């Protein structure tokens, strides 16, 4: 039970950090930032599949959270919407 809470906390922290980074990148760079996020996502998906040495549950949570955050920002921006400043709209709890 405690381990699941720690993994959830790791996921939430990684998501928030990645979301904040991606949001600020898009705000600063516009389309160039979106292109950079797409490139990072390509590498993250490859890294997610390359687990020959075993990352463990915390490593998996970190990669999954980062991918989810980047996908959320990318999806929001490509949908013609502004990047949400409030992460609570995505169901994250503090």
Q: Identify the pLDDT of residue 43.
A: 93
Three-state DSSP state, 85: coil
Q: What is the pLDDT at residue 80?
A: 64
Number of domains within the chain:
1
21 in a structural domain: yes
pLDDT at 63: 94
pTM of the model: 0.79
Q: Does any domain span residue 17?
A: yes
90 domain residue, yes or no = no
Residue 25 lies in a domain: yes
Identify whether 91 is part of a domain.
no
Structural domain for 13, as ranges: 2-85
42: which 2 tokens? 């390509």
| Euclidean distance between CA atoms 93 and 35, whole angstroms | 29
Contact 37, 69 (CB under 8 A): no
At 90 the pLDDT is 45
The answer for residues whose C-beta is within 8 angstroms of residue 7's C-beta and 6 or more apart is 57, 58, 61
List the chain pLDDT tens, one digit each, 94 residues.
Answer: 688 999 999 999 999 999 999 999 999 999 999 999 999 999 999 988 887 777 889 999 999 999 999 999 999 887 764 544 445 444 444 3
């Amino acid at each position: 039970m405690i381990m699941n809470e720690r993994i959830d906390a790791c996921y939430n922290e990684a998501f928030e950090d990645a979301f904040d980074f991606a949001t600020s990148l898009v705000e600063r760079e516009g389309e160039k930032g979106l292109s950079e996020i797409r490139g990072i996502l390509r590498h993250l998906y490859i890294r997610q599949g390359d687990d020959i040495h075993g990352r463990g549950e915390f490593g998996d949570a970190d990669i999954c959270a980062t991918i989810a955050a980047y996908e959320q920002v990318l999806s929001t921006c490509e949908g013609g919407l502004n990047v949400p400043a409030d992460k609570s709209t995505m169901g994250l709890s503090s």
